[in-house]
Amino acid sequence: MKLRLILLVFLILDHFNRTLENEVCYLMDPRGDTIASSNRLLERQIRKRTQEITSILKQLRRLSGSIMDRQEAERKAIARELHDELGQLLMALRMDSAWLCSRLKDTDAPASERALTMGNLIDKIIDGVRDRAIRLRPGVLDTLCKK
């Protein structure tokens, strides 16, 4: 008895659901189109917009990668300039201060001491330039990029 009652309720609900689905398909929106056709139109528009957004995101990723590559190339160029050009000039100054210090040691002790101090300052500048060049472009990046 209970099983028959449950089956009857199930059949009634199924019939009601199918009737409701059929009726929803024929409901009209304010323009006179059926709700189902409006729904299909909206789904197509959503798919189109989703594709456009996906395409734009791909373009943004490529652009971002390009910008990062250019920044890295610029850092590499600046680090190389610091190391090569400024490093050479500072080393030449360091060698001249050492030469001056040894030349003046016997004849002018205060000037020799001043040249020695100048050489020490140049050494600190060389260390600072080296540190900045490494921070701009660590050498380990070149090693990793080659592999």
pLDDT, average across residues 141-147: 53
Question: pLDDT category, 13, cuts 50, 70, 90?
Answer: confident
Cα–Cα distance list, 68 to 34, 71, 93 (Å): 51, 5, 36
pLDDT tens sequence across 29-51: 666 666 777 788 889 999 999 99
**Is residue 115 within 8 Å of residue 97, measured between CB atoms?**
yes
Whole-angstrom distance, CA of residue 117 vs CA of residue 29: 89
- Which three-class secondary structure state does DSSP give residue 28? strand
Of 60 and 28, the one with more pLDDT: 60
Give the residue extent of every domain in the chain: 33-146
Note the pLDDT tens digit of each residue in 64-108.
999 999 998 898 888 888 888 888 999 999 999 999 999 999 899
Can you give the pTM of this predicted structure? Answer: 0.53
Tens-digit pLDDT profile for residues 46-62: 999 999 999 999 999 99
Residues 27 and 73: their CA atoms lie apart, in Å, by 62
pLDDT for the residue 49: 92
- CA dihedral sign of residues 69, 72, 74, 76: negative
Length of the chain: 147
Statement: residue 137 has pLDDT above 90? no
